[in-house]
Amino acid sequence: LGRKVLVTAGPTQEAIDPVRYITNHSSGKMGYALAKAAMLRGADVTLVSGPCAIEPPPFVKLVPVVTAKEMFDAVTSVSFEQDIIIKAAAVADYRPANVYEDKVKKHEEQMSIKLEKTDDILGYLGEHRLPGQFLCGFSMETEHMLENSRAKLAKKNADMIVANNLKVAGAGFGTDTNVVTLITADDCRELEIMSKADVASAIVSEILKKMC
């Protein structure tokens, strides 16, 4: 392969105070499997990963990050040299607008936390793409998966969106299997249920096919 591939994986954590944070159920398994699949084909792989409890694959450059902002900075500082970027990370869409310096004590019956939008990393990459660079995003939906994912493909100026429906058995968070649909501007292909390793290999094959 001899290409440079950047994969993002895992969740991000957005601090509320020194004790608590906002995150999601991403395990990192799909992203780590993608990094491994690209490495096995001889790519020079950088894996930008949010906090995960799994072993990173060997022979990839691991860049650990915690927040969406850190992931944005880590990705955009090397994105210009990548041939393929696969954004499997479940990046927080919002973070607390203010991070409390001290632990928040309980007082009222109800309390709210003001949130602000994070920067859309894939959206940024789509706006600043290099000629020939392939951008692959992920889309996790619980309803209207195809319509929403096609909208994301266009909005974020990506080449491919790997969509999965959280409500389908064997798909989504924490599982070792996944059920995904590969969506490009002119194609839409649902893969049968398979291991995340096999899904990763199929995604890498599809990207290479689309690039030539």
Residues that bind ligand CTP (CB under 6 A): 68, 87, 89, 91, 93, 118, 120-122, 137-140, 152
Cβ 92 to ligand CTP shortest distance, Å: 7
Cβ 42 to ligand CTP shortest distance, Å: 24
Beta carbons of 113 and 99 less than 8 angstroms apart: no
Pairing of strands 180-184, 160-165: antiparallel
Cβ 125 to ligand CTP shortest distance, Å: 8
Measured distance CA(173)–CA(183) in Å, rounded = 20
Is 98 catalytic? The answer is: no
- CB nearer to ligand CTP: give 29 or 87: 87
Residue 99 CB contacts under 8 Å (≥ 6 apart), including other chains: 15, 16, 17
- CB nearer to ligand CTP: give 104 or 133: 133
- CB nearer to ligand CTP: give 91 or 180: 91
Sign for the pseudo-dihedral over CA of 1, 208, 5, 28: negative
- CB nearer to ligand CTP: give 29 or 152: 152
Cβ 122 to ligand CTP shortest distance, Å: 4
Nearest in space to 96 (alpha carbons), one of 23, 8, 11? 23
Identified catalytic residue from 24, 98, 164, 165? 24
Structure tokens belonging to residue 179: 């059920």
Catalytic residues: 24
